[in-house]
Structure 1
Amino acid sequence: MIRQLLIKTKYFFSKRQIRPLVAFFLINLFFIELKTVIEYFISFNLGITGTMQLLIALLNPLPTAIILLSLALYFRGYLAYWIMIVMNFIQTIWLFANMLYYREFSDFLSLSIMSSGSSVGENLSKSIAGIVHLSDFLVFLDILVLILLLLFRQITSDKKGLRRRFAVLTSTLGLVLVFLVFGLASANRSGLLTRSFDNNYIVKYLGLNEYAAFNAVQTHNQAVSRDKANASELKPIAKWIQKHRAPVNVKYFGIDKGRNVIVFHLESFQQFLIDYRVNGREVTPNLNKFFHDQHTLSFDNFYNQVGQGKTSDAETMLDNSLFGLPSGSAMVKYGTSNVFQAAPAILNQMGYTTAAFHGDVPTFWNRNNTYKSWGYNYFFSKQFYPQSTKSQNNVGYGMLDKIFLRDSARYIQQLPQPFYAKIITVTNHYPYETNKEIASQFPATTTGDRTVDHYVQTAHYLDSAFGEFMNWMKATGLYNNSLIYVYGDHYGISENHQPAIGQLLQKDRITNYDLAQFQKVPFMIHANNLAGGINHTYGGEIDVLPTLFDLLGVPNDGTIQFGDDLLSDQNRQIVSFRNGDFVTPTIIKMNGSYWQTDNGRAISYKNASKKTKRFIDQTQNFVDQQLAYSDQVVSGDLLRFDKRNNFKKVDKKNYDYTLGPSLASLKQAQISNPSSLRTKNGGKSLLKLYKSSEVMLWSPSKIKKYLQRLAAEKTASQGSNADSSSSASVQPASSSSSSSAPTK
């Protein structure tokens, strides 16, 4: 049988069928395509959906494979065959390495990761025996067979080789396919390279080999910028920051020192939702109550300042008081390699346990690498939530918020106190997908714009989840022992939906002034020792960290932070947008036009008074300098030159966010630092105090009992209307019935 196979193989490569070198080229190309596409679906989680994405995935391994294999066509004899084997082997090694790395870290290898020596050299190689599967080596099977065929001369040598024209045409075909695939990818995913927020997207659309090329260019650009930088560049920046820094408010400085800090990140949540009603019903009753609480400082002139990085820009500002980049994401481009002086690292060195919670994959926005650079002790991503494996528990970009928050409480109760915990919600994320349960809780608006109309429904669900979490905090005592700040990361409805925005705001015409107001997001600070109220100070996300440090009594005179303390009496109240526009208490610049802040009247710069022109010019100079200096710090990695003695640079090798090591570390922390909620409760879980209206969290028996109770109530209440009976399946956390709903 083997002999017959060899005879057929030799016959296939003979001149009677096809030129041997061409046949060998096609076989190598076929196997590279086959094993790459197979691993796309087996080893990687690319989220390929729809016919177009499937077509792109089938095409994207071909361009670079053709280009690399075509190099052999410029040679003759067996040398050409061996060059093809080498090119196949190089691509297979890259595939194999990413299979192993992705299995452990849910991400793709990058040059910065490989050169760092920590992520690969220490984390991957030390557990290689546990990572690799015997079946992984099947990707090399075709290479082994082809090598044996060459060694035993079962493949006829093409001594004459091919004409140079044929080789050139083959290489050209590969280049044409590169542009074809990029065109298809860009059509399906606009801004793919400028908004490269997840390596999974690059691989899904461009291919694993193209990702390597993209990452090489990206790394080169970073290296050039970084290599040109020097310590002297930091001095004028530090001097400028010190000159413009608003002093702390002695009334607030240190009043919440030593408290837990809980950061509640409301995805795509805008300020207009606070106190907003649909058909007479509050969209966000729980957040409204929190906003107006007697111990909550609420800012009603607080703006998102994100650029293309969206959520990642918000996180960069909140944790570092550094702006996002003019294009792309700082977390993606520099999160792995740069030195930062982030809030979690600073607080960790002051005795805080620091943790981030996100119900999506750890690679999104490069969080799994960036959080190490920022000094988070723990990062609880999707792999830590068993409920996330069930499709019905996920909508859009991750887990349903109610399930995510309830399961996050499992880990929060184990964090040694004091802790700094950032909780990132995802259900209220564009395109605001709903399920039957979410849709039944609240009516959609009727603008005719599907995205806008469902926005209030997912926002209401987020609000209900927030209310349930706050109730658990109160039940455990955590509420009164924590500083809680809540913020919306960026707009939820873009300016592309102006007709619908007009209906929501009850305006016939939307101006740039209205669009500027639409950039407002909530910012609330709560602690039981704060005198609450509405604060009208103008500010943005860049100002949050200095404000937090004021309340915690953390001196930041020597830090590189571009924001101002919102509680300072000398705050400049200049809100810089990423594109150079701005908002002040008197004048707004939006999309190149100017407006009076208090009444929305348009201002003509040409016809404005000298005083107004001078104010606009001075403000613009401030904004431009602030953005330029921040970009210089990030792109040049200038914080590596900061020699402050009271801050120890983060060593990323000390962090591991994989499931096993994280849970082991958390368990050990209960012993070494027995200050967590659970430890203080005698080692018993406090999850029984968590009450949720999310049906997915209930046991089958409790669901049955609950439905029986509903049926009995419906029979007893003949006057109930259809709306009340349909909405009774899931009650908002703020309703009276939620406290009696069964819990798991």
Structure 2
Amino acid sequence: MSGKIKGSTNKLNTVFGFYLLVVLLFCVKTYIAYQTEFTLGAKGSVQQFLLAINPIPAALLLFGIALYFRGRLVYWLMIVIDLIQSIWIFANIIYYREFSDFLTFSVIKGSGDVQNNLGKSIGQIIRPTDFLVFLDIIVLVVLLLTHVIRVDVRPFKRRYALVLSVLAFSLMGAEYGMANADRSGLLTRTFDNNYIVKYLGLNEYAAFNAYQTQKESATRAHANASASDLTSVKKFVNRNRVSPNVKYYGQAKGKNVIIIHLESFQQFLINYKVDGKEVTPNLNKFYKNKNTLSFDNFYNQVAQGKTSDAEMMLENSLYGLPQGSAMTTYGTQNTFQAAPAILSQKGYTTAAFHGDVPSFWNRDNTYKSWGYEYFFSSSYYKTKPDYSVGYGLKDKIFFKQASQYLDQLPQPFYAKLITLTNHYPYELDKQNTDFPATKTGDKTVDPYVQTAHYLDEAFGEFLTYLKTSGLYKNSVIMLYGDHYGISDNHRAAIAHLLGKKSVNEYDLAQFQKVPLMIHSAGLKGGIDHTYGGEIDVLPTLMDLLGVKDNNTIQFGQDLLSNKRNQVVAFRDGDFVTPKYTKVGSTVYQTSTGKKLTLTSQQKKQITKLQNYVTTELSLSDRVIEGDLLRFYTPKGFTKVNKKDYNYKYINGMAKLKAAEKKYPTSVLAKRNGKAVPYKTDAPELK
């Protein structure tokens, strides 16, 4: 037995032996990470086999780089390569835990615009076991330093190293062949990143994503974009443009627009109870108001851009990107035909309110491109250590301080207020926590209802202010949830919340519903069951305001139109209609959740729907990535000049003061300079 151990050790005392050991340990830990940290959904023998072997080709290739060198450097290069790859695995574990997706270079590149307060979130996500991905490196270093494994200084023949490189590339080709046979068009069609990792591996995914990012950068340079690229876009948009509902068109003409962005707020929270108590009593009442149009089949359609994707769709009727954030990547330089610009040219004052730094999601630049006259970000508010939590001002404090600027806006105005407290990791201090947590046993999920309840209380206070100020009667008040608050990674908790034993892909697709409520005095309200998503908000709002914009490039359809197609496209190419819910290659009956075995007629219907979704997404991407709107100015619209805007506090206040004198239509002007009292029970302000 001792002879066998000694023989094994002797084999490790060669360069090739050490190389094989490093490759083996790396592949084993990668596979363990696949099984324990990611939800890749490997089904069937082919997918399970590919999942098990996909770390091998890249490991052979990357660690093989060290074999072209000599002496001790070979060993330490392998350690360094292992460390770099392990950091990549570690980073993806952390990112995936919250976002159910893998890191992209677009996200990394734009991290400077979104990293504020991220450290606190990461601190909540990281688990001690995550650091086990570095365990093999520690073991290898110890074995080398203690001379259990001796360094072989004999040169490894480079022709053998070349053979290993060729073998690695051959295995990659074979692996891709098997993967593409099981999942055709893997790298040419729009798929979830989970598919690429499942079939090809984390390193191959990184290489493919790097290629996509480089391709994206080339597109950003507008090397190939021209006005002719808009032809197919215009044809698609005009073909799918729907006429408004005459009962609603212009019903809110001339009214203010107040949009309240409900951070991470999902539809299931409406009327949801914990221990017999309503989580959101104020929102529930507003949802059921006779003058509120409430949509119960309204879906978030975001990808990695999360909140920024929601804003892009809401105000442009353009989709976010399949990877990264359009606001971060293209918000500064692109030309847009956004809601603030459209309404500003119709006599509206336009303003955005956000209780965090202006650079978050590149808003300070993007909002200029969209035509916002004012951006009341963190520098406009009084702050103290206990005024903020997570990503900015607590909602009650934010609404109270924002109201003083809302009072000063010349009417009519278009104002968007972004709430923050109901943001992961759902932190709230004890003095503001007066609602029971759920008991799913998932520490990430259980506080979610507590921050949602706090948001509801803040909204209730803001609603009282709107009524006191008179804005309630003279405004369209729109509330929408930007994206999911609980990711698909928390399936057991989701099942518990929904009162089910387990959830499948259909349930998770339906779990993407978020609320949309549109309220206006005199508006005929009710629960509208039409299927739609965030891409549809802008045309709906424009029709309600009686603003004709038949020439703009918008991919959504008026939710109130009787002729809308009710196709809700998700960013990964899946979709939901009143009849079908398609997730990957599986189709469910939307009304029952039953998995369908498709007839030939149904297959034709699904193919037609899939073609529509794929075309819509790709054309929207073409508009953003090629900056195509720079080639087209609709009749009656003036292109935004970004130089006209400055969001610094001094400039903003001076502009606001001048506007009040020129257009004395603000709430403050009508009250002869007397501020509207704002009541809040925020303990920090007592």
What TM-score do you get using the length of structure 1 for normalisation? Answer: 0.66
- Whether the 8 Å contact between 1:301 and 1:538 is mirrored in structure 2 is yes
Cα deviation digits, residues 70-107 of structure 1 (max 9, x gap): xxxxxxxxxxxxxxxxxxxxxxxxxxxxxxxxxxxxxx
SS in structure 2 of the partner of residue 227 of structure 1: coil
Match of 1:653 in 2: 643
Output aligned runs, 1:283-302, within 5 Å: 283-302=279-298
Residues in 2 aligned to 1:181 and 1:304: alpha-carbon distance in whole angstroms: 32
**Which of 405, 426, 432 is the equivalent residue of 1:438?**
432
- Whether the 8 Å contact between 2:113 and 2:362 is mirrored in structure 1 is no
| Deviates further, 299-308 or 182-191 | 182-191
Query: Which amino acid in structure 1 is aligned with residue 606 of structure 2?
Result: I
Name the CA shift for 1:224/1:651 in 2 (closer, same or farther; >3 Å): closer
Match of 2:303 in 1: 307
Residues in 2 aligned to 1:193 and 1:187: alpha-carbon distance in whole angstroms: 15
Residues in 2 aligned to 1:684 and 1:198: alpha-carbon distance in whole angstroms: 43
1:643, CA displacement in angstroms? 3.2
1:696 aligns with 2:608: no
SS in structure 1 of the partner of residue 445 of structure 2: helix
Residues in 2 aligned to 1:365 and 1:218: alpha-carbon distance in whole angstroms: 21
Residues in 2 aligned to 1:361 and 1:183: alpha-carbon distance in whole angstroms: 30
Output aligned runs, 1:36-55, within 5 Å: none
- Whether the 8 Å contact between 1:198 and 1:364 is mirrored in structure 2 is no
- Whether the 8 Å contact between 2:441 and 2:493 is mirrored in structure 1 is yes
1:392 aligns with 2:386: yes
Residues in 1 aligned to 2:510 and 2:216: alpha-carbon distance in whole angstroms: 39
1:530 aligns with 2:526: no
- Whether the 8 Å contact between 2:432 and 2:683 is mirrored in structure 1 is no
Residues in 1 aligned to 2:667 and 2:267: alpha-carbon distance in whole angstroms: 33
- Whether the 8 Å contact between 2:104 and 2:324 is mirrored in structure 1 is no
- Whether the 8 Å contact between 2:328 and 2:361 is mirrored in structure 1 is yes
Residues in 1 aligned to 2:260 and 2:455: alpha-carbon distance in whole angstroms: 11
Output aligned runs, 1:407-422, within 5 Å: 407-422=401-416
**Which of 621, 630, 637 is the equivalent residue of 1:640?**
630
Output aligned runs, 1:304-703, within 5 Å: 304-387=300-383, 390-439=384-433, 441-604=434-597, 608-686=598-676, 689-698=677-686
- Whether the 8 Å contact between 1:562 and 1:630 is mirrored in structure 2 is yes
Match of 2:137 in 1: none
Residues in 2 aligned to 1:253 and 1:370: alpha-carbon distance in whole angstroms: 30
Query: Which amino acid in structure 2 is aligned with residue 270 of structure 1?
Result: Q
- Whether the 8 Å contact between 2:117 and 2:390 is mirrored in structure 1 is no
Match of 2:268 in 1: 272
1:609, CA displacement in angstroms? 1.4
Identity %: 55
Residues in 2 aligned to 1:648 and 1:535: alpha-carbon distance in whole angstroms: 35
Match of 2:63 in 1: none
Residues in 1 aligned to 2:300 and 2:643: alpha-carbon distance in whole angstroms: 33
Residues in 2 aligned to 1:511 and 1:179: alpha-carbon distance in whole angstroms: 32
Name the CA shift for 1:455/1:321 in 2 (closer, same or farther; >3 Å): same
- Whether the 8 Å contact between 2:220 and 2:625 is mirrored in structure 1 is no
1:669, CA displacement in angstroms? 1.1
Query: Which amino acid in structure 2 is aligned with residue 398 of structure 1?
Result: G
Output aligned runs, 1:21-420, within 5 Å: 191=103, 193-196=105-108, 197-199=110-112, 221-222=217-218, 226-387=222-383, 390-420=384-414
- Whether the 8 Å contact between 1:353 and 1:416 is mirrored in structure 2 is yes
Residues in 1 aligned to 2:90 and 2:591: alpha-carbon distance in whole angstroms: 47
Name the CA shift for 1:453/1:586 in 2 (closer, same or farther; >3 Å): same
Residues in 2 aligned to 1:636 and 1:454: alpha-carbon distance in whole angstroms: 42
Matched residues, number: 517
1:182, CA displacement in angstroms? 6.7
Cα deviation digits, residues 666-723 of structure 1 (max 9, x gap): 111111111110011101211xx2111111122xxxxxxxxxxxxxxxxxxxxxxxxx
Structure 1 residue ranges, 4+ long, deviating more than 4 angstroms after superposition = 175-190, 200-205, 217-220, 222-225
Comparing both chains, which one has the higher relative contact order based on Cα–Cα distances under 8 Å and sequence gaps of 6 or more? 2
- Whether the 8 Å contact between 2:390 and 2:423 is mirrored in structure 1 is yes
Residues in 2 aligned to 1:201 and 1:313: alpha-carbon distance in whole angstroms: 13
1:294, CA displacement in angstroms? 0.5
Output aligned runs, 1:685-724, within 5 Å: 685-686=675-676, 689-698=677-686
Name the CA shift for 1:694/1:591 in 2 (closer, same or farther; >3 Å): farther
Query: Which amino acid in structure 1 is aligned with residue 436 of structure 2?
Result: P
1:592, CA displacement in angstroms? 3.2
Name the CA shift for 1:223/1:244 in 2 (closer, same or farther; >3 Å): closer
Match of 1:50 in 2: none
Cα deviation digits, residues 554-579 of structure 1 (max 9, x gap): 11211100000001000100000000
1:591, CA displacement in angstroms? 3.7
Tell me, which stretches of 5 or more residues in structure 1 are unaligned?
1-164, 206-213, 699-744
Match of 1:741 in 2: none
Give the root-mean-square deviation of aligned CA atoms: 2.7
What TM-score do you get using the length of structure 2 for normalisation? Answer: 0.72
1:391, CA displacement in angstroms? 1.7
Name the CA shift for 1:562/1:408 in 2 (closer, same or farther; >3 Å): same
Residues in 1 aligned to 2:658 and 2:683: alpha-carbon distance in whole angstroms: 34
> Greater Rg, structure 1 or structure 2?
1
- Whether the 8 Å contact between 1:198 and 1:366 is mirrored in structure 2 is no
Match of 1:4 in 2: none
- Whether the 8 Å contact between 1:438 and 1:458 is mirrored in structure 2 is no
Name the CA shift for 1:664/1:183 in 2 (closer, same or farther; >3 Å): farther
Residues in 2 aligned to 1:230 and 1:681: alpha-carbon distance in whole angstroms: 52
Query: Which amino acid in structure 2 is aligned with residue 564 of structure 1?
Result: Q
Name the CA shift for 1:417/1:694 in 2 (closer, same or farther; >3 Å): same
Name the CA shift for 1:201/1:404 in 2 (closer, same or farther; >3 Å): closer
